[in-house]
């Protein structure tokens, strides 16, 4: 990653307007960025928000990395939480009933 020059005190940080409504993933990330930007008062944090959003826009960082860094800005005192996907397995009610009746029958004859 390339480091940007340090922020001068007389510079005013502005909110990035790089939303792409046609790209759902980026649009959702931009909404998260925008909400965090509006709630943040620190100029340093706003500058960091701009850096990670522009890095996401240019493809330098991935979406999980973006959300991880965004969460660190939102809650600096929290532990690093790694987002993970869990797979939820479902079954049809008919299959559940069939298995239940089989188990009940097997338990009766033990």
Q: How many domains, in total, are found in the chain?
A: 1
Tell me the average pLDDT across 82-87.
Answer: 68
Q: How confident is the model at residue 12 (pLDDT cuts 50, 70, 90)?
A: confident
- Say if 28 falls within a structural domain: yes
- Say if 100 falls within a structural domain: no
* Residue reference for tokens 């100029």: 43
- Say if 103 falls within a structural domain: no
pLDDT tens digits, one per residue of 47-84: 999 999 999 999 999 999 999 899 888 887 766 656 66
Q: Which of 92, 91, 93, 72 is nearest to 82 (CA)?
A: 72
Q: What share of the chain is helix, strand, coil (3-state, %, to 5)?
A: 55, 0, 45
pTM higher than 0.85: no
Q: What is the CB neighbour count within 10 angstroms for residue 44?
A: 11
Using the 8-state DSSP alphabet, how is residue 14 labeled? -
d(CA 49, CA 45): 6
Angle, CA of 78, 83 and 89, to the nearest 5°: 135
- Stronger pLDDT, 10 or 35, i.e. the higher one: 35
- Say if 29 falls within a structural domain: yes
**Structural domain that includes position 24:** 11-83
- Say if 60 falls within a structural domain: yes
pLDDT value of residue 1? 47
- Say if 97 falls within a structural domain: no
- Say if 31 falls within a structural domain: yes
- Say if 47 falls within a structural domain: yes
pLDDT tens digits, one per residue of 31-40: 999 999 999 8
pLDDT value of residue 87? 75
Distance between alpha carbon 68 and the CA centroid of its chain, in Å?
7
């Amino acid at each position: 990653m390339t480091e940007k020059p340090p922020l001068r005190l007389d510079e005013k940080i502005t909110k990035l307007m790089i939303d792409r409504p046609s790209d759902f993933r980026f649009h959702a990330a931009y909404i998260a960025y925008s909400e965090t930007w509006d709630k943040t008062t620190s100029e340093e944090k706003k500058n960091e928000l701009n850096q990670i959003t522009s890095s996401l826009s240019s493809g330098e960082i991935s979406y999980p990395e973006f959300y991880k860094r965004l969460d660190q800005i939102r809650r600096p005192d929290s532990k690093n939480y790694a987002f993970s996907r869990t797979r939820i397995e479902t079954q049809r009610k008919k299959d559940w009933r069939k298995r239940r009746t089989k188990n009940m029958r097997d338990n009766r004859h033990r």
